Structure 1
């Protein structure tokens, strides 16, 4: 079953939840400040999520609790151990491990998800909503999904949560990669109803704990739509940078000098300046450590695929999209698990 058919409106109720009673209006007020002794939730401790959750734990009040969940038990245990080490003997900075997503949702006023694919997000919220009402809290629950998924799925999940009045769902994918997640300098683009200004400010306040910028792009689904548009540009720029650098090197140009010139000229872009694909040009780039870490080529392939599907649904032509998708498909097969800048190495191999 496709993601779209799994979340189609006529079947949403059976997929996500059992019929729920309406909450009293008094339980749905927004919290505009961070309450002490609150509980926060985080699901998904991958390369991005781990560092985002680490920054979250460091910046929320020390007396608050962070409850985490990941399918990799070892990763969750490692996160807790590091948090305890950072807290020292103070006894504050508490972190707990949940047995399942429902437990995280029940205990948390704010729950953040960072997951690889649309189906993972569906599974998490299905497991939360299928058991009926969540227990009421002092403030309305806020669900922030930082995953990059397709807009249709994101809108359907938002509708499922909002129609059952279980909280507010916000799509808030990120830009900045693992480096930005580690440094706490991520940029977020989010979709949320603008009818209540308090909600927008509350979301900005939460995202500020993990990044530097947050753009409200519109209603639910707008965040992931903006992210896919951005990553379409990134996908094309990355290939162009790899091709240009490979061309210059084969012409006998020094790669550092070439990159310095490009980054002072009209060819300047994030793949050339920050994530340069040539080993040794940028010491902090994945290319300089065997293309390890960073933004995986499989994730870029996925994002490009989502952008192409969304473009087709809206009747929008993308003239370079199919060619770029073919490149990332081939690169993923040859260098699975590597940073997407490994396109450069793949081009070198083709030239041999």
Structure 2
């Protein structure tokens, strides 16, 4: 299996642009040759095994360096790529097509495109045919039957305790996957770099700590709001915003991280900042809908619907997509909170 190294986060403070940009974020591209990257990654994992990883399903021990990895969880494949490992099979949760990764991943991240595996209902026979020696299902449903079928094929890193319904925290997903791939220290670095990046953004925008924020969704027939535990809200909190208290006080739906709202109750999302995520429609279509237009935040210019590419990156929450999302997002947040 070929390996590829990735650049680390750079400090935001070192790349603040003069003309209104609050930050820049490190590119996810790499200038290493494939052979050099393979050597570097192999050396970083040398002596790391065996490793043990705690999951909802018990402690899972990986005895030696995985050679054929299948990545099924939300964002698991991009996380594996961050640590230089090219999965032989991967799920394409956001229907990117091709190699199943977002446009923030450098062209040619794979030497050989992975077999694309279904998301909610993975094809177990197709997975078995890939002869994996490790399966990543870290940000997933946490369903016992799904896990049992996967673990009968190969050692499987499932969700951690409390990670059901895709609630595995970003940092935990990074550390679990990094450890499984023999790069626990690199995982700690990636998490530390994210913490530093968001700390720099908070320092540059101290007023955000006094503002409430809501992340909401719209489909053709429904409205909803995300709450703490969702990547969409957790990232806003990491940037200093406070969760809308009325939304925080409500019980989530079956997903564990979202609320169903009717048009008549949608105004509960009104906050100092409201960010929209269009599902099955264009951002422009969501912005034209009457419930969105009726928000006080919209009338005051304190709301916006995420552009499609930023929305995908922000939602996926992989190390690479998060860099891209924050680079694009911070100027939008500045515009709608000034």
Report the TM-score, using the length of structure 2 for normalisation.
Answer: 0.35
Higher relative contact order (CA 8 A, sep 6+): 2
Larger radius of gyration: 1
Question: Normalising to structure 1: TM-score of the pair?
Answer: 0.34
